[in-house]
Chain A
Amino acid sequence: GAGVSQSPRYKVAKRGQDVALRCDPISGHVSLFWYQQALGQGPEFLTYFQNEAQLDKSGLPSDRFFAERPEGSVSTLKIQRTQQEDSAVYLCASSLTASGNTIYFGEGSWLTVV
């Protein structure tokens, strides 16, 4: 596609519910990233894929967060047993390759946990 596409754009989840956020990167982009952005803050790194390999997941805040990219294209970020502190915008980004390349962001998935 022309840009990074994310769905759903908005999600309201009840505390304890599981959610899945989808990211469709720019076609041909090898690297894919997930970031979390709290209100009034800059994006914080969660995890990074190169093709289907998850090379860095150091930013995932807890074991309730899980990301996958099984075929090296579309990625899903799953949050289990959501908590109120998980409320944030989840941004997906992609780039052609690694190291120093510009990353292009989607519009984000706005998650509110009530």
Chain B
Amino acid sequence: AQKVTQAQTEISVVEKEDVTLDCVYETRDTTYYLFWYKQPPSGELVFLIRRNSFDEQNEISGRYSWNFQKSTSSFNFTITASQVVDSAVYFCALSPANTGNQFYFGTGTSLTVIP
């Protein structure tokens, strides 16, 4: 079975605080891809990052960083020095290689950054 769990439904932080969004996935496939998307109030899902299952290197992009750990099936997302513009719903997604690019999304974490 393919499944993505985002246990945090809603998070509120004060501006400039760091925040980590958790993502745990389940799959029996050995080759798969993990993604994070941001959904602002306008509704469009904005691509943030893609990782494949063979690359466990952590990645940093500006204030964003991602921690991929296969041992715990987790792909967590940290925003450093949060800003009001970071307020959105964030989705983690799994795409196993043998499913024709089908994506399995978590239920999302709604992040509110308070000025």
Binding site for B on A (CB under 8 A): 31, 33, 35, 40-45, 48, 50, 55-56, 89, 91, 93, 95, 98-108, 110
With A43-B91, A89-B43 known as contacts, the answer to whether A99 contacts B108 (CB < 8 A) is: no
- Closest CB pairs A-B (n = 4): A42-B105, A105-B45, A107-B44, A100-B33
**Residues of chain B within 8 A of A91, CB atoms compared:** 45
Number of interface residues of B (CB under 8 A): 28
State the CA gap A100–B97 with chains docked (Å). Answer: 6
Cβ contact of B100, chosen from A44, A98, A102, cutoff 8 A: A98
**Interface pair B102/A56, CB less than 8 Å apart:** yes
**Interface pair A99/B105, CB less than 8 Å apart:** no
B12 touches A (CB below 8 Å): no
**Residues of chain A within 8 A of B108, CB atoms compared:** 40-42
A95 closest partner in B (C-beta): B101
**Interface pair A106/B44, CB less than 8 Å apart:** yes
**Interface pair B44/A45, CB less than 8 Å apart:** no
Within 8 A of A (CB), among B20-72: 31-33, 35, 37, 42-47, 50, 52
CB distance from B69 to the nearest CB of A (A): 20
**Residues of chain A within 8 A of B47, CB atoms compared:** 102-105
With A41-B107, A42-B108, A100-B95 known as contacts, the answer to whether A33 contacts B101 (CB < 8 A) is: yes
State the CA gap A89–B35 with chains docked (Å). Answer: 21
State the CA gap A48–B32 with chains docked (Å). Answer: 18
State the CA gap A56–B43 with chains docked (Å). Answer: 25
CB distance from A35 to the nearest CB of B (A): 8
State the CA gap A55–B44 with chains docked (Å). Answer: 25
